């Protein structure tokens, strides 16, 4: 990589923009990139900044914020217990499923559900938080009230994932691999039509620029109380998913926190392969970063390499 040049105050480094563009144009499929310097300039640069991309589990971030906003208002408590029964189970990644089935139901605190939804990206934990917060409309209301811009929120994991697959949700799909079997039975043309409709107008769509601006406001304490801000950022710093996405390009000495998202695959196309986060330089300067891969035929290693390239480039062009 070339030696970075110092940019004008408040402007993104031209070299960074060019570097991202050169790699972005070579990457197959529809991809959005946004980089925002949170401290000292507040500039934003990237590609397809205003386009809507499917978020998938990135949207768990807004559920968590909605819940913590309710905690700030005194309408929920972190130690409040939530009952989760087999009828509440979701689809895809849900590590708590075995415990729910084995015990016929479990009780979890709001805090524990936040940990599991963000750190482990547990879909049942997230849907349980969503139900506790008042459903999808509560999240949409939070997004609108906080003026987060071009960020949509869907219907919850079960209904959305079924729609994407060309199915109507049945609770039996939450067990074992029944969702996969039902999806495999859908004719290819029907599945492709459903997936194409979703990608063209994603019900959970968000623009890369809106995402990084929201992360910037979160980091500055403009969306939640100081305690809730610290809690959410701490949980995101311990995210276990996606260790080889943006995180793997962040240099030693920097801090990083993030939330991933991964959508469905209809070979040869993978969808909704995302990572959003905040990089903090050794001098304390923070950058919000979002890479949203709407659809691509690139391999998983190639997707990871592209994300690592973005986070590595941010660090390279950081001005100390």
Token pair belonging to 67: 């819940």
Give the start-to-end residue ranges of the domains of the chain.
14-316
CA distance 164 to 56: 11
- pLDDT score for 319: 62
pLDDT given at position 40: 83
Is the pLDDT reported for residue 3 higher than 50? no
pLDDT the model gives residue 5? 41
Tell me which residue has tokens 């309710």: 70
Separation between Cα atoms, residue 163 and residue 262, nearest integer Å: 16
SS3 276: strand
Find how far residue 85's CA is from the centre of its chain: 26
H/E run at residue 96: none
pLDDT 10s digits, 257-297: 999 999 999 999 999 999 999 999 999 999 999 999 999 99
Distance CA 155, CA 183 (A): 19
Arithmetic mean of pLDDT, 231-255: 97
Cα separation, 252 vs 108, in Å, equals: 36
CA distance 10 to 26: 28
What is the residue-averaged pLDDT of the chain?
95
Token pair recorded at residue 242: 């996606």
Mean pLDDT of 86-106: 97
Q: Residue 197's pLDDT is what?
A: 98
108-152 confidence digits (pLDDT tens): 999 999 999 999 999 999 999 999 999 999 999 999 999 999 999
- pLDDT tens for residues 159-191? 999 999 999 999 999 999 999 999 999 999 999
Asked whether the predicted pLDDT for residue 2 surpasses 90, the reply is: no
Q: How confident is the model at residue 42 (pLDDT cuts 50, 70, 90)?
A: confident
| pLDDT at position 308 over 50 | yes
Query: Are 249 and 308 spatial neighbours (Cβ–Cβ below 8 Å)?
Result: yes
The 3-state DSSP class for residue 103 equals: helix
CA angle, corner 289, sides to 287 and 292, nearest 5? 175
pLDDT at 4: 41
Place of tokens 């979701």: 90
The rounded percent of the chain whose pLDDT value lies above 70 is 97
Q: What's residue 222's pLDDT?
A: 98
Q: Does domain 14-316 have CATH number 3.40.630.30?
A: no
- Work out the percent of the chain whose per-residue pLDDT is above 90: 94
pLDDT band at 6 (very low <50, low <70, confident <90, very high): very low
Looking at residue 8, what is its pLDDT? 45
Q: What is the pLDDT of residue 120?
A: 95
- The DSSP element (H or E) to which 169 belongs, if any, is none
pLDDT tens per residue, range 48-75: 999 999 999 999 999 999 999 999 999 9
């Amino acid at each position: 990589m070339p030696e970075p040049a110092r940019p004008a105050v408040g402007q993104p480094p031209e070299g960074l923009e060019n570097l991202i563009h050169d790699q972005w144009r070579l990457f197959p499929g529809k991809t959005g990139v946004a980089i925002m310097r949170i401290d000292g300039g507040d500039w934003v640069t990237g590609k397809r900044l205003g386009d809507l991309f499917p978020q998938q589990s990135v949207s768990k971030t807004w559920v968590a914020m909605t819940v913590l906003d309710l905690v700030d208002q005194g309408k929920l408590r972190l130690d409040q217990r939530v009952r989760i029964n087999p009828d509440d189970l979701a689809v895809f990644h849900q590590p708590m499923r075995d415990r729910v089935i084995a015990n016929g139901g479990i009780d979890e605190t709001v805090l524990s559900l936040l940990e599991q939804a963000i750190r482990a990206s547990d879909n049942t934990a997230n849907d349980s938080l969503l139900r506790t917060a008042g459903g999808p409309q509560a999240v949409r209301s939070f997004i609108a009230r906080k003026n987060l811009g071009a960020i949509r929120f869907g219907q919850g994991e079960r209904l959305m994932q079924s729609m994407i697959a060309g199915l109507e949700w049945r609770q039996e799909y939450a067990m074992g691999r029944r969702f996969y079997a039902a999806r495999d039975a859908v004719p290819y043309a029907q599945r492709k039509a459903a997936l194409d409709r979703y990608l063209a107008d994603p019900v959970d769509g968000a623009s890369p620029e809106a995402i990084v601006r929201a992360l910037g406001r979160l980091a500055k304490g403009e969306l939640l109380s100081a305690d809730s801000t610290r809690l959410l950022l701490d949980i995101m710093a311990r995210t276990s998913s996606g260790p080889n996405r943006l995180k793997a390009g962040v240099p030693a000495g920097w801090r990083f926190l993030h939330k991933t998202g991964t959508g469905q695959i209809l070979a040869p196309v993978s969808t909704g392969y995302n990572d959003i986060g905040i990089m903090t330089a050794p001098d304390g300067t923070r950058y919000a970063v979002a890479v949203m891969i709407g659809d691509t035929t690139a391999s998983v290693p190639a997707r990871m390499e592209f994300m690592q390239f973005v986070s590595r480039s941010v660090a390279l062009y950081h001005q100390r």
